[in-house]
Structure 1
Amino acid sequence: MPYMQRIPLHQNIKCLERSATSRIQMSSFHVSSQASKMKKVQEPEKRELDLIRYDFKELKNSPKAALYLGCGGLIPFVSAPLIMAITETYFPEVAFAQIAYGASILSFLGGVRWGFSIPENSPAKPDWLNLGNSLVPSLLAWIALLFHDNLTEAAILVIMGLGIALHYDLNLLPGYPNWFRALRTVLTVVATFSLVALIIVKNTYPEKKLVSNEK
């Protein structure tokens, strides 16, 4: 009789050990799954600078036509402040020509997004976000041309438009190929610095008009 009573007791001890082990495993699995979820939540999102850094690797894959035409489009931006810096004279007609060119580029950038959203297989859908935001650069360009009497404010508006358009294309409205995003960044930076140089030239050198109004 004592031996018969020991068997179920021994079996009960094993059952308790198994249940405790299974509970520990389940609890460790639950904790690990919660920790993995927390890690996923805490992972930081990619920022604009990260996107630019990775896109620059694809700049060498740009089509020749896009690369050459894009760099050639910087000539009106760079030549205007360069000519005035060499002559050490601020020409308001040349400065307005540069701002007018920048305004036309802003309208072009808005049209690029509009045209990119129209095809049926495009990753950017023709919704209010894409089509509406594509109008913002054109509106800023129009407002900049209204400040023809104060070219500093006009240049600042064009700079703001270039920055907003680049922010849309890199972060808010993705879908462009990586080489285009890298090329857009380079062109925007050069154009922005040329407009900043225009403001510096305007406040540094004496003003002289190309065409005199005197008869």
Structure 2
Amino acid sequence: MSLDDDKEAFRNFSKAFLINFIFGLINVIFIVIMVAWAISATVMPMGGGEVEPTGPIYAFFIPSVILSLIGNIIFVYYLWHGFKIMETVMPNVSIGKIGALLLLFSSFSLPIIFPIFWGAPSPNFQSPVAYFGLFSIFGVVGLIGIILLVIAIYRIGEKYDNTTIKVGAIIYIFLSFIAAIVLYFGFKELENRKSGKNSVILPPQPPW
């Protein structure tokens, strides 16, 4: 793999994790808004009883899900191309491509909870157990995808002796939102190193 291929792979990875961070941040904002809306719209009946949230919370939920899907598609696109380049010199990171596809597949589980959120279950899933069962399957697929992705990213960090990438890969298992920005800086560091931006400039030779 040439130097330009190296740079292109690292550029794809840095773009992927920057997008992952940006869309993750947007979703966090949506979640905060939804929680604040739910708290402010909650009505406690005078005679006691259950608390009933009011207000169209789904008005925030739907854009959040749509943005998550869009973000995941773009995220996986750049990941795929990064691993496609890297596997020419590191065949053992090809599992990252599989992990990326599994993550993309699991992200399509989000629309499944639309009927639950609206309180109008689909005719095919009348039982909550069926919902949770299907959602669990997507969750397991997503977990496997994350594990494969983390292993591949960690191997890249090992090969290029980049501690930031190795730490980011480990954090990604637990806090993908935070790890994404760590990995972005890690791959940017590799990209700059390969492009010679971090090279030491030697003083000119004496004339004699």
TM-score bucket of the superposed structures, by smaller chain:
0.3 to 0.5
Give the structure-1-normalised TM-score.
0.41
Q: Which protein is bigger by CA-based radius of gyration? A: 1
Taking structure 2 as the reference length, what is the TM-score of the superposition? 0.42
